[in-house]
Amino acid sequence: MRGDLLHLADPVVMGILNVTPDSFFDGGSYTTEAQILLRAERILSEGATFIDVGGYSTRPHAPDIPEEEERARVLPAIRCILKAFPRAYVSVDTFRARVAQSAVEAGACLVNDVSGGTLDARMFETVSQLNVPYVLMHTRGTPQTMTRLTDYRDVTLEVLDDLQKKIFALRSLGQKDILLDVGFGFAKTREQSFELLENLNYFEALRAPLLVGVSRKSMVYQTLGTTAAEALNGTTVLNTLALTKGASVLRVHDVREAVEAVKLHGMMVRTRSRAGLD
């Protein structure tokens, strides 16, 4: 990655930096350069490996925005982060191929596509030519329609099959590094998201690192009868469960707590190994 070898044998954390006015949890919090740099500094200082910059809100029913508006949000953010922190690994959270290309040209070293290539037919070809890792996520429809597209006969098997077919398409184009995201909450009911979490280890058969994004989502706060603002503890619980199921990357709003979960889980794994229990 950007000339570095980055192994995910031990789980890492990806900190979220939304440069949007309407994201479900922190919309409007990071719109100026000063706010962006303070957030980036905190993400890095608390131990995250990646900073994930997004300029298009993908919460359910979020309004669509033009491509140029998304570019105008993410490109200055990426440039100012890398000017201040030139060794940072910056990811771009976008489903648009031209935004991905511009972001990589600006210094991003990973493309995180919540649409899994479904919303821009050029994405797979573009990312394979960019020679950067790609996060392949499962969803259906768009942020505006996905809540109506939750009819699965077997959600685990159907998501597994969809990701497997897309991995084959990407490999056929020469894409080397792929991470997988089952898409918690994206065209999934709360119950379906929990089923996917329970069966997360099944996806290890696809032989790609698993990225988990449950941070402060409705599957947490609706289950607890609270709000996104009160969902940190629940998020940490689900992140810890995800680590036990094979997660390699935790994508989070709250970096310090996720890093602590990774460290504690790692100690348990090493203890089990020393005891000969694995």
Q: What is the SS3 assignment for 47?
A: coil
Residue 266, token pair as written in the block: 């790692």
Closest by CA to 217, choosing from 192, 185, 189, is: 185
The C-alpha R_g of the chain, in whole angstroms, comes to 18
Contact 180, 210 (CB under 8 A): yes
Question: What's the CA gap between 105 and 100, in Å, rounded?
Answer: 9
Is-catalytic flag, 217?
A: yes
Which is the catalytic residue, given 140, 166, 245, 251?
251
Strand 178-181 with 211-212, pairing: unpaired
Which is the catalytic residue, given 217, 245, 256, 272?
217
- Helix (H), strand (E) at residue 18: strand 12-18
Is-catalytic flag, 122?
A: no
Sheet holding 110-113, edge to edge: 178-181, 134-137, 110-113, 89-93, 50-54, 12-18, 249-252, 211-212
Closest by CA to 137, choosing from 203, 65, 66, is: 203
Residues annotated as part of the active site: 217, 251
